[in-house]
Structure 1
Amino acid sequence: MRKILLVAAMLGSVAGVPAASAWEAQSSLTGPQGQTATRSGSLNCADGSCTRSGSATGPQGQTATRQRNVTRTAPGQWSAQGTATGRRGGTATRSGSVQRGW
């Protein structure tokens, strides 16, 4: 079920985005003791494929990252792959596909 939700969430990006587009965002938060955490992300779409990347760095410098790629393989069909790396170096991968019936 999570694979379908992952793909469904990204399909909105693929289906509703013009032929080529991109965005980037970055934010930071400083706590009461002066410690700072940062987050950044980007989305790039072109030719029926979207790649979404993000990272978060905590106050002690530990970083977690993730990347997702959704590709339109045929009319009404998409495939998705994703990789996440935790702040301690552990990695998880996901993949899935969706076929919409007409």
Structure 2
Amino acid sequence: MNRTALALSLAGVLSLAAATQAAAWTRSSSTTTARGIYNTQAAGACAGGTCSRGATTTGPYGGTVSRSGSVTRTAPGTYNYNRTTTGPNGNSVNRSGTVTRY
């Protein structure tokens, strides 16, 4: 009986660990256009009511565009978001706000 309880507890811990790892992800891709190949690396994760994501795309001439952002649940049906995009010349655009679901 004790071995069964131990096995169930261990299975629960492993399931929790798998769920935590499943909340993080990475991705890479390449897109071929008439101008050349664009390579993108992206990663994201969710924890504690906040999901974040970042991505960087490098173009065929070495220019890089980066975007990072997050969404946080602040109350049931209410979310705060922010995002920053940085272009190949170093200029940035920031966006942020609140979305409420009725």
User: How many pairs were matched up?
Assistant: 82
Q: Does 1:27 align with 2:32?
A: no
Which 5+ residue runs of structure 2 have no aligned equivalent? 1-18
Higher helix share: 2
- The structure with more radius of gyration: 2
RMSD: 2.2
Q: TM-score, normalised by structure 2?
A: 0.69
Write the mapping of 1:6-25 to structure 2, written as runs, cut at 5 A. Answer: 20=20, 21-25=23-27
Higher relative contact order (CA 8 A, sep 6+): 1
| 2:69 alignment partner AA | R
Q: Report the Cα offset of residue 100 of structure 1.
A: 2.1
Which 5+ residue runs of structure 1 have no aligned equivalent? 1-18
Write the mapping of 1:1-102 to structure 2, written as runs, cut at 5 A. Answer: 20=20, 21-29=23-31, 36-101=37-102
| 1:57 alignment partner AA | T
Q: Report the Cα offset of residue 36 of structure 1.
A: 4.3
Q: Report the Cα offset of residue 59 of structure 1.
A: 1.5
Q: TM-score, normalised by structure 1?
A: 0.69
Identity across matched positions, percent: 41
